[in-house]
Chains A and B, each alone.
Chain A
Amino acid sequence: MAVLVGFWELLVRGGVVEFDFLPAPSGIAAALASLAASGDLLPPLLHTLRSTIVGWVIGACAGVALGVWLGLSQRAWRYSMASIEVMRAIPPISLVPVALLVFGFSLRMELTLIVYVGAWTVLVNTIDGVRSVRPELLDVGRMLRMSRLRVVRSLILPAALPSVIVGLRLALSLSLVLAVVAQMIGNPAGLGNALIRAQQALQPEQMFAYVFTIGALGVSLNGALRYASTRAFPALAAGPTDVT
């Protein structure tokens, strides 16, 4: 990575690349430092982080709860799955304008979008996970005369966990994407908005600094979740981590 960055620096310094707006990495680092020093970096960063996480948590809870119900009840599944498939096909990005239309430029709009996309992703993965629970497991629960809640808590959720976690991870990165998009064209706050303003002010160094921050945020959120899930459920750590 260091080599690549050095190469980039050389290319730009040496005038080999002639894009008008490609700053050198050193310029980006300087911009990042000055943004951090002037306090223009932290508030948008915190805003984006907060709305991503809040939206993701709400969406995940809703998704898991609904997913378990739909996955368990044969009737609910039969009478709703096709609707879910159709609704799911609608790309969440295309709902950004609707949210803008309904909620205007506000935090509500941003959060609604994040919750929506998070809930769908988690919902679909939870349904998959719950439906692929082996029927024998349910028989065990019946034999031990477990209550319904107990069956869900100690048999179904653990069995569906790998699939749920995949859903949670996908949902987290989508939440960040939606947060940034919502901030770019909707709610005027956070990193997405800062990025757009830097672009419009023709400040490529600052813009790259914000992009870098967003990327770093994505990497650390993903890493934190991966760490937390392997920490909490060591048995899952053996699974493939490469392919999302």
Chain B
Amino acid sequence: MATVELPGAHDTAGAGDVRPPGARRSQPRARWASAFPPLRGLLPLGAALALWQLAGREDSPYFPPPSRWAQGLADLWERGLLWPAAVQTLSTFAVSLAAATVLGTLLGLVVGASRTVDRALSPTLEFARAMPPAAVVPIAALLIGYETTMKVAVVTFAAIWSVLLNTRTGVRSLDPVLLDTARCLRLNRFDRSRKCVLPALLPSIFLGVRVAAPVALVITLLVEIVTRIDGIGALIATAQRNYLSGQVYGLILVAGLFSFVVNGVVSVAQGYAFRNRPGR
């Protein structure tokens, strides 16, 4: 099933795993290969699915065989529900992640730059971060109402922390020489942030976004499942309520596909962003 979306580059992966673990980071090619486990690792999953298809009862209400997953998806597609839902989910995800990145970076800059602000806000931040996002959904629903804005608000709220905290750590560990250089060159505030601070912070921010991306996707689905506002999650919840188990499993497959793609994009983007940095 999911073999299709595995990036093609890991035909070389077989070479990656005979190497002792210590030598894994030696060449870019080996690093690339070791990021993707060998394909034959899909065997158990494939076997399990095949067994499920062959041994499972066609009309099982709880564990429908994979063929019925496809059927469920095809039904949804024909009724024109699948595509809009996918677009909804992905756009909510993208908008929220962008908002979380921008807001998280700004807040992180403020919190990281000033000890006073940091001390004043830290307890609140810690508390808000430990709050399970699910618990925020009812609040947002009451305050904002059942609409897309609410989804974006909740997802942004959940995804902002890793960006914020990583930016804060990044600001704290800025090289003082860098700031002195900017002062020597008499750069104004804007140029200083654009030419010195931001490039130096980029890896930290990126690390935060990398952690935030999967979280944002999961929370998007969560909000959709809990509130049934349009999207893949809402389709899953509706299918479950109507006992359309084939559709439920099929849609979960779609959700897994999204998450797979998001993870892939993030790790490729990270490889690109850190290409001329030594170490990890």
Contact = CB atoms under 8 A, between A and B. Distances in A.
Contact of A176 (B42, B132, B233, B251): B132
Interface in B37-64: 37-45, 61-63
B142 interface: yes
A79 B135 contact: no
Contacts of B142: 20-21, 199, 204, 207
Central interface residue in A19, A94, A191, by most chain B CB within 10 Å:
A94
A83 B130 CA distance: 31
A102 to B, nearest CB: 5
Contacts of A198: 138
Interface stretch (B80-88, B149-157, B252-260): B252-260
Interface of B: 2, 6, 17, 20-22, 36-45, 61-63, 120-121, 123-124, 126-128, 130-139, 141-143, 162, 165-166, 168-169, 207, 211, 214, 217-219, 221-222, 225-226, 233, 236-237, 239-240, 243, 245, 248-249, 251-253, 255-257, 259-260, 263
Interface stretch (A38-46, A85-93, A148-156): A85-93
Interface string A176-219: 11001100110000011001101100001001101100111011
A16 interface: no
B162 A244 contact: yes
Contact of A90 (B22, B165, B256): B256
Contacts of A78: 17, 37-38, 40-41
A97 B130 contact: no
Contacts of A145: none
B138 A181 contact: no
B59 to A, nearest CB: 14
A116 B155 CA distance: 23
A83 B225 contact: no
A14 interface: no
A132 interface: yes
Contact of B225 (A77, A93, A131, A192): A93
A98 interface: yes
Contact of B249 (A87, A98, A199, A208): A98
Given A101-B245, A177-B134, A184-B226, A81 B126 contact: no
Nearest to A103: B62
